Amino acid sequence: MKIVIDTNVFVSGIFFAGPPYRILKAWRDGRLQPVVSQEVVDEYRRVVEAISKQYPAIDTVPVLEYLADNTIIIVAPSLPEPVCVDPDDDKFIACALAAGCKVIVSGDKHLLKISGYCGVQVMKPREFVDRFLPPVISKHSVGPDFL
């Protein structure tokens, strides 16, 4: 399943346990195929680098390398007009539309408000996990260690 993952979900999945972590784990396990644009990748890197200073014990390099090698990177033209209250969030809608993705996973209130725009559903991480990621029993499935 191709999805767009908002920065807040991507970053939370790296540093914390919970639904965002389960989403990144499903990606690592080949159950999801994230789609990104260069603008999305740039934001991921910027935010991960900023937050990693608060959590120096977590090595983010492997995750960022995995991102580069295991996502579909597309060219996403800008939207003809702003869609979100926060125009910085439009890059996620543009990415989903350019890639033909029907789902964006996000906790961002501005993106959640426009769920359904051009057929793109914006779902909170918990909702996405409950709907699309049935539990996989594994004795090694706990914790925020993505790789």
How does pLDDT run across 23-59, given as a tens digit for each residue? 999 999 999 999 999 999 999 999 999 999 999 999 9
Domains identified in the chain and CATH numbers:
2-132 (3.40.50.1010)
pLDDT the model gives residue 46: 96
Using alpha carbons, select from 99, 43, 34 the residue that is nearest to residue 67. Answer: 34
Using alpha carbons, select from 114, 75, 130 the residue that is nearest to residue 98. Answer: 75
**pLDDT tops 90 at residue 111:** yes
**pLDDT tops 50 at residue 141:** no
What's the mean per-residue pLDDT of the chain? 92
Q: Which residues are CB-contacts of 11 (< 8 A; sequence separation ≥ 6)? A: 20, 44, 47, 48, 51
Q: Which residues are CB-contacts of 27 (< 8 A; sequence separation ≥ 6)? A: 33, 34, 70
State pTM to two decimals: 0.89
